[in-house]
Amino acid sequence: MAAEPSGLFVSFEGIDGSGKSTQARLLAERLRAQGREVVLTREPGGSPGAEEIRRLVLTGDRGRWSAETEILLFTAARRDHLERTIRPALDRGAVVITDRFADSTRLYQGTTRGDLRATVDRLHALMIGVEPDLTFVIDMDPARALARSLRRLGTPPEPAEVALQEVLEVLRLPAEDSLAPEAALLAPAAPPEDRFETFGLAFQERIRDGFLALARAQPARIAVIDGDRPEAEVAADVAALALSRLAPA
């Protein structure tokens, strides 16, 4: 599926707490200020049915789902998201910006909890068949990102996982913004969506390594952006690359 010439399908990826949601929102705001139609969405979620699945997969204890079950749930959510939100927007030439897409499933379910990457890719080819035109990986030190993420969720970091000086540094930072609500479907769920944060620092380090490996393998699609900088500097780099892929407004 290809977008209209004036449209673009952009995804933001990165470990939890990296600032990707903030950067997705800032890019959407910048493009809207130019008069472009922008659909800002997220995964899991982005459509009514997918939001229901989001509540299933992001809440509860660590052992609630096996990796295989999660792959099926995430793929089902993505299919609904594609049918009801992404495809209609691209068909009318809008810019679609999603906070996470299939690359997250490739790593969170496909490689870090068993060798299931081939399963993820087969299901993706069969049921989705779409890749973003441009993917930003917002890269950040995993300890710093995890401390920020846990602080945002109101969960004290474990001393064994996050050094005290790292926590103190993060506590001086402004909280990472969440996605600006696009509609009622983007309202946060009542239970804390912290299931993957509870997997710990070693898990986040493996996820980061996986994102960087994906970027090396697909440099034409995936751009790694240093997220350990002031928010405005990160946003400027993101916007410059995104605008280079768009026709003039």
Binding positions are 14-21
CA distance 45 to 245: 26
Strand pairing report for 222-226 and 38-42: unpaired
DSSP-assigned letter for residue 249: -
Annotated binding site for ATP: 14-21
Q: Let me know: does 188 contact 45? Beta carbons within 8 Å.
A: no
* Helical H segments across the chain, by residue range: 20-33, 48-57, 67-81, 87-91, 102-108, 117-127, 142-153, 164-171, 201-217, 231-244
C-alpha torsion sign, points 216, 176, 64, 185: negative
Amino acid at 115: D
CA within 13 Å, CB half, 66 = 6
